[in-house]
């Protein structure tokens, strides 16, 4: 899938704002529209990116993530298992799972090696 002129403009506006505020070191750009992430890398390789994913993982997940040059993967809790987390971490990706509201599940995910969770409730 190639980028459109509108895609380029949207991403450029975001990157310009981040650079203007001088917060590149504080930002992680994450999107369900993975093509945006590749455009982000084209405009600023310093800003880390992450692919958000619901319902099911893309086939050949590790290769897929490499093709978009992402630093992290943000899968939905429902599609996250220990095997996937292990292979992602071994491949060098950060893994942050969404939305995990049960403390017991959060602990299990951290035991598996995830880097973070998105939650609606702070413990």
The per-residue pLDDT string of the chain (123 residues; one tens digit each, 9 = 90 and over) reads 567 899 999 999 999 999 999 999 999 999 999 999 999 999 999 999 999 999 999 999 999 999 999 999 999 999 999 999 999 999 999 999 999 999 999 999 999 999 999 999 876
Domains and CATH numbers, the chain: 5-117 (3.20.20.190)
End-to-end CA distance of the chain, in Å? 41
Token pair belonging to 99: 């939305």
CA distance 76 to 80: 7
Q: Which residues of 36-70 are buried (b: 16+ CB within 10 A; e: fewer)?
A: bbbbbbeebeebbbbbbbeeebeeebbebbeebeb
pTM, full prediction: 0.92
Tokens for 3, please give them: 């980028």
22: alpha, beta or left? (left if phi > 0; alpha if psi -120 to 50): left
């Amino acid at each position: 899938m190639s980028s459109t002129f509108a895609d380029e403009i949207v991403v450029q506006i975001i990157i310009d704002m981040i650079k203007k505020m001088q917060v590149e070191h504080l930002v992680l750009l994450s999107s369900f529209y993975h093509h945006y992430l590749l455009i982000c890398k084209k405009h600023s390789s310093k800003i880390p990116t992450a692919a958000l994913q619901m319902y099911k993982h893309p086939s050949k997940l590790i290769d897929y993530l490499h093709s978009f040059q992402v630093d992290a993967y943000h899968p939905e809790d429902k599609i996250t298992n220990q095997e996937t987390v292990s292979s992602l971490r071994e491949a060098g990706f950060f893994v942050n799972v969404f939305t995990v509201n049960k403390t017991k599940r959060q602990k299990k995910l951290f035991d598996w090696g995830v880097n973070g969770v998105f939650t609606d409730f702070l413990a």
